[in-house]
Structure 1
Amino acid sequence: MGLPAGRNTLLRRVRALPDPQIGAVALLGVDDFALRRGRVYGTVLIDLDSHRPVDLLPDREAATFAGWLGEHPGAQVICRDRAGAYADGARTGAPDAVQVADRFHLWSNLAGYVETTVARHRSYLAEPPTTCEAADEPRADLDGAVAAARDAHFEQRAFVRHARERYAAVQELKAAGVGIKPIAARLGLARGTVRKYYRATSVDDVLAKARDGHGSILRPWEPYLTERVNAGITNGSQLFQEIHDQGYPGSRAVVLAFLRPLRAGGSTAAPAARPAPKVRTVTRWILTHPEHLDEQETLALKTILTRCQDLQKTVGHVTAFAQMLTGRHGDRLNGWIAAVDADDLPELHRFTRGLLRDHDAVLNGLTLPHSSGQVEGAVNRIKMIKRQMYGRANFDLLRKRVLLAT
C-alpha cells in the first residue's frame, strides 16, 4: 500500500487504541470460544439489547467472569449455556441477576443423551433375519459373522486401544477422588476429553460414536463380499482382486480379516440383510419434527420403535420436551422430569439430574423469550477474524479487532 510504517508499528497503533466504553449491560449474553481448540478457551460477552460485543475474557473461569461482573454492575438478565463456571460466576458476581439457560444448548444436551440411548439399543436397529422355509440345509449366521468381522477390525485400530487406556486411567483417578480439572492436568488431556471419560459408565459409551460413525474402509464392499461368499466363492485373493477392480483402496489384509469369520461360518448362508441404520441416523430421525421426515424415514423409525419400547418411550419424552421448548411452557418442566424418571431410561435420567441442578436457569430458559443466538453469531465472527489472522494473533489483538470492529 506504500505506507512508510512497518507492520509492527501498525500493530502497536492498533493495540494502543482505547477500548470502547462499557456502560451498564442489563441483558448480557455469555459463551466461550476456542483460542486453541480443545486446549485454550476464552469468553465473549454480548449486550443483547444493542447486539454488540462488550468484552472478551482470556479464559472461561468462574472467578474471571465474576470479577468482570463485579467491575461492571447492572446486569439484570444473564443468558448462558449449561457450563457450571458461568453459573458460578454469575451467582458470585451478579447474585441478583436472573440466569437464563439457552434453549439451543438445552436441546443439544438432550440430543447427546438421546444418541447414547440409541447406541445402547443398537441391536434393535437392524431388521430381524427372515427364515426361508424352502431351505433344507442349515444356514450359517452370516449377519453375526459380519458383525464379528467389523468388531474385530474396529478393536484393532490404534485409537480404540488409546481410548481404553485413557478410560482406565481416568476412572482410576476418579476412584481416588481426583476431580476433572486435576486429572486433565495430570494426564495432559483437554478437560472436555477427561469429562467424557469421567462421566461414561463404560468405555463402550465413549466408543459408541466412533463405532457407528466411522465405518471400515471396506464397508461399501461388504454386501458384495457377502453375496460372493453365499455363492461359494471364498478365495481371499480372488475376492480382493474383484473389489480392487471396483475401486477398493484398502489392503488385502483388511479383506482377509473380514472374510475369516465368514469362512468359518460356512459357505451356505442366508442372503445378507439390509444394513442397519447408523445410530446417528436414527438419532436424527428422533430429533426431527415428524413433518420433516420423508415417507421412508418415517416408516423405518416406526418399525424400529415397534421393536423397542425404550426407544418408543424416548421418542415420547423428546416430543414433549420439544413442545415445551418451542412453546416456552416452563410450567411443564417438573411434570416432564417426573415422567422421564418414572421410566427405566438411565441416559435421560442423567439429563434430568442436570436440569435439576440448574433448575431455575432452565425454567427461565423455557419461559422467558431471551436466548443466546446473538452470542453464537459473535462466536462465528470471532472464528472468521482468527482465520483472517492465520491463527497468529495474540489475545489482546484479537480482542481489539472484535471490540473496535463493531
Structure 2
Amino acid sequence: MRRPGRERPAEQRGGGRQGGEDEEGGVAVDEFGEGGSGQVLPGRPLERGLHQRLEALGGDRPARLPGQLRHCQRLHPGEQRASPRPVTAQTPAPRVVAKWILSRPESLTETEQLRLKAVLANCPELDALTGYVRSFAQMPTERQGERLPQWLHAVRQDDLPSLHTLAVGIDRDRDAVIAGLTLPWNSGVVEGQVNRIKMLKRQMFGRAGFQLLRKRVLLAP
C-alpha cells in the first residue's frame, strides 16, 4: 500500500529498476554510473562522488545514503578499498620495557626479545642503561664484587644522570657493598625478622598491652 503524496512519475513505474528505486528504497546502480548500464565510479568504489550525485537527484535521497551504500556493497561484494590502513605494532608501555630490562634475557620469550631489541635500537641511552643493569646483576649472582670499581668508573664516564646518583650513593659505603656482592652471608634473615615484628605490632595496635605483644613476638611462628 503506497502512502498518498508519494506517487512516482509514470516513467519510473513499471517493470525494471533502471533509473529508479529498488525494493529496499535504495537507488539503483545505474543512477550512479558514468553513463548508465550499472557502471561504477573509478577509484574508491561506492563512496567517491556518490553523495554529490544523490544531492543532484534531489529529494530525501542524501538522507538515505547509508542504506544505499549497503545496497551497492551487496551488488559488488568483491570490491575493497584501494588503500587499506597499515597495521602498526602497539608501542610497549614504560613499565613493560622496565620489566624486560630487569628480567634475565633467557627468561624472555622470543617475541619479547624482538620487541625489546626494537626499543633499544631507537634509544641509545636506554641501550647503554640496559648494559649497565645486566652487568651489575651479574655481580651478586656470581659473587663478583671486585668488579664494582670498574663498573662505577664506566658509569661516571657515560652521560646517564640517573646512574650517576646511584654511583654516588654506592661510594658512600663502598666496602660494605663490595662485601655484600662477594661474601656468601647477608642480612636477609635479620630483615625478615624485623618485618615480622612490624607486622605483629600493626596487628596488635590498640587491642592489647605489652605483655600480650611480647608473647606473640616470642612465640608466634
Structure 2 gaps of 5+ residues are 1-84
2:93 matches 1:278: yes
Note the C-alpha offset of 1:379. 4.0
- Which structure dedicates a bigger proportion of its chain to strand? 1
What residue number does 1:402 align with? Answer: 217
**Distance in 2 of aligned mates of 1:361 and 1:307:** 37
2:177 matches 1:362: yes
2:145 matches 1:350: no
TM-score (norm 1): 0.31
Structure 1 gaps of 5+ residues are 1-269
Note the C-alpha offset of 1:327. 1.1
Note the C-alpha offset of 1:309. 0.8
Note the C-alpha offset of 1:352. 0.5
Which of 130, 134, 138 is the aligned partner of 1:319?
134
What residue number does 2:117 align with? Answer: 302
What residue number does 1:330 align with? Answer: 145
Note the C-alpha offset of 1:392. 3.6
**Distance in 1 of aligned mates of 2:193 and 2:165:** 31
TM-score (norm 2): 0.54
**Distance in 2 of aligned mates of 1:397 and 1:321:** 45
**Letter matched to residue 314 of structure 1:** L
Note the C-alpha offset of 1:296. 1.5
**Distance in 2 of aligned mates of 1:396 and 1:303:** 60
**Distance in 2 of aligned mates of 1:312 and 1:360:** 29
What residue number does 1:291 align with? Answer: 106
**Distance in 2 of aligned mates of 1:325 and 1:315:** 17
Note the C-alpha offset of 1:335. 0.3
Change (3 A) 1:393 1:285: farther
**Distance in 1 of aligned mates of 2:151 and 2:193:** 33
Deviations 1:215-273 (CA, angstroms, capped at 9, x unpaired):
xxxxxxxxxxxxxxxxxxxxxxxxxxxxxxxxxxxxxxxxxxxxxxxxxxxxxxx7795
SS of 1:366's equivalent in the other structure is helix
| Equivalent residues, number | 137
**Distance in 2 of aligned mates of 1:316 and 1:274:** 25
Deviations 1:32-82 (CA, angstroms, capped at 9, x unpaired):
xxxxxxxxxxxxxxxxxxxxxxxxxxxxxxxxxxxxxxxxxxxxxxxxxxx
**Based on CA coordinates, which of the two structures has the bigger radius of gyration?**
2
**Distance in 2 of aligned mates of 1:334 and 1:294:** 33
Instruction: Say which structure, 1 or 2, has more relative contact order (CA 8 Å, 6+ apart).
Output: 1
User: Within 5 A, what are the aligned runs for 1:237-256?
Assistant: none
**Letter matched to residue 170 of structure 2:** L
**Distance in 1 of aligned mates of 2:140 and 2:120:** 23
Aligned-pair identity (%): 56
User: Within 5 A, what are the aligned runs for 1:80-229?
Assistant: none
Note the C-alpha offset of 1:366. 1.1
**Letter matched to residue 311 of structure 1:** L
SS of 2:146's equivalent in the other structure is helix
Q: Is the 8 A contact 1:386 1:398 kept in 2?
A: yes
Which of 194, 197, 200 is the aligned partner of 1:382?
197
What residue number does 2:156 align with? Answer: 341
**Letter matched to residue 286 of structure 1:** I
Q: Is the 8 A contact 1:386 1:393 kept in 2?
A: no
Note the C-alpha offset of 1:365. 0.7
**Distance in 2 of aligned mates of 1:339 and 1:370:** 28
**Distance in 1 of aligned mates of 2:87 and 2:207:** 53
